[in-house]
Amino acid sequence: METRRLTRRLGMILIAWSLSSIVVAMMLLFVPISVLQGIGLQALLWGIIDAIIAVVGVFRKQEQSADKAARFLRINVFLDVGYQLVGILLIVFLWQDAFLLGNGVGIIIQGVFLFVLDLYFYRKFRSMDISTPSNNGM
């Protein structure tokens, strides 16, 4: 699979996730339960940010190399772990506030999805880069 097609596939999955997050957020924000409102707020914020990132990636004119995409996704995988740690810290230290507890859960949900997505596509791009003859084993 060529790099451009794989990049578009990643972007389309991220667009679907972001739109789903926004729809779920719109429902949760109006539920009179603080934990769910916190999850909803995170779904809305992450959904908007992910949509912007995905649209830019899908409609990007210049194709990037498999190596560059893999490096970018490797960084994202580490960031995704960091997001989950922030969510865990919110839960552990601020669990008494139901809204903040929900925000922590919401961050973890988003971080887990992005971790799986980024790791999957990192491996795909990395395998493309390794199989490229001009790579010279690097």
- Which residue type sits at 58? V
Largest CA distance in the chain: 59
Return all residues near 69 (Cβ < 8 A) that are at least 6 apart. Answer: 3, 6, 7, 121, 125
Nearest to 117 by CA among 42, 50, 23, 25: 50
Query: In the prediction, which pLDDT does 44 show?
Result: 98
Instruction: Please report which confidence band the pLDDT of residue 136 belongs to, taking 50, 70 and 90 as the band edges.
Output: very low
**Distance (Å, whole) CA 40 – CA 24:** 7
Alpha helices in 29-97 (DSSP H): 34-58, 66-94
pTM for this model (two decimals): 0.89
Question: Residue 33 carries which DSSP code?
Answer: -
| Span 97-130, pLDDT tens digits | 999 999 999 999 999 999 999 999 999 999 986 7
Query: In the prediction, which pLDDT does 57 show?
Result: 84
| Span 9-18, pLDDT tens digits | 999 999 999 9
